[in-house]
């Protein structure tokens, strides 16, 4: 089971540790429709670097691709957590087996 999880670690896409958020803004042009009502919709990528949060504009034609990279990061993060838990279980069971063999349990 552990070996099959380890094989899945190979990334299908570049992993991206960030969040993608949709924002609505006014452009500032006096004659634009956003002044009175519907604002312009845009996407921003938010990520942390050395404890500081940064934001990057993501063009609308690129949002699906960026979203897939974020999903890949989340998939790998979950997978590594599973692998860690399985490895820990192996260590614990090995330690218990060693104690049983020595007659301590």
pLDDT digits (tens, 9 = 90+) for 6-52: 777 776 789 999 999 999 988 889 889 888 888 999 999 999 999 99
Contact (Cβ atoms closer than 8 angstroms) between residue 58 and residue 70: no
Tell me the pTM.
0.75
Count of domains for the chain: 1
Dist CA 84 CA 87 (whole Å): 5
DSSP 8-state code for residue 61? G
Question: Coil, strand, or helix at residue 9?
Answer: coil
Can you give the residue range of the structural domain that contains 49? 2-6+19-101
Residue reference for tokens 């063999």: 101
Instruction: Give dist(CA 41, CA 36) in Å, integer.
Output: 15
Question: Residue 13 falls within a domain, yes or no?
Answer: no
Query: For residue 86, is it within any domain?
Result: yes
- Asked if residue 12 belongs to a domain, the reply is no
Asked if the structure places residue 11 within a domain, the reply is no
Q: How many CB atoms lie within 10 A of CB 8?
A: 13
In a domain, 25, yes or no: yes
């Amino acid at each position: 089971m552990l070996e099959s999880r380890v094989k899945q670690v190979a990334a299908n896409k570049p992993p991206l540790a960030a969040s993608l958020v949709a924002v609505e803004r006014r452009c500032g042009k006096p004659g634009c429709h956003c002044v009175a009502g519907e604002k312009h919709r845009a996407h921003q990528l938010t990520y942390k670097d050395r404890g500081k949060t940064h934001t990057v504009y993501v063009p609308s034609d690129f949002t699906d691709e960026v979203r897939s990279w974020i999903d890949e990061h989340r998939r790998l993060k979950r997978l590594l957590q599973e692998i860690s838990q399985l490895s820990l279980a192996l260590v614990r069971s090995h330690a218990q087996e060693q104690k049983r063999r020595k007659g301590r349990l």
